Amino acid sequence: MAIALLMVNGLPGSGNVNERTGGELEKRVRIAGQSRTQLAADLKAQYEQGASIRELTRATGRSYGFIHDVLIEAQVPLRGRGRPWHRRIRPTVRLGAP
C-alpha cells in the first residue's frame, strides 16, 4: 500500500519538516503543540484508512515507538498484530463422527 502522508507543514519557522528529504520529519526534533496535534490527526486518518504503523514509520522517518505513542495520544484504537488474511482458520475435526 502506497502512503501519501498528509505531512505536517509545521508552523512558520517551526523547522519540523526537512525539505532535503522530500517532506520527512526531521529526526531528533521535538514535535509539540499545534504541530503534534496536526500530525496526530494526519496519522490517525491514515491508520484508520488501513495504513500500518510500520508504513507510517517509513513515510515519516520517525520510529515505531514515536508513531505508536502519537496514535495512543490521539486515542486511536490499535489493531491486533498481523493482517486478517494471515490468520489460519483450522477446520473442525470430529472424532468418531460418520
C-alpha cell at 97: 463422527
In the chain, how many domains are there?
Answer: 1
Model pLDDT, residue 73: 95
**pLDDT bucket at 64, cuts 50 / 70 / 90:** very high
**pLDDT bucket at 91, cuts 50 / 70 / 90:** low
CB-CB contact of 43 with 56 (8 Å): yes
| Structural domain that includes position 63 | 1-98
Which tens digits make up the pLDDT trace of 31-58? 889 999 999 999 999 999 999 999 999 9
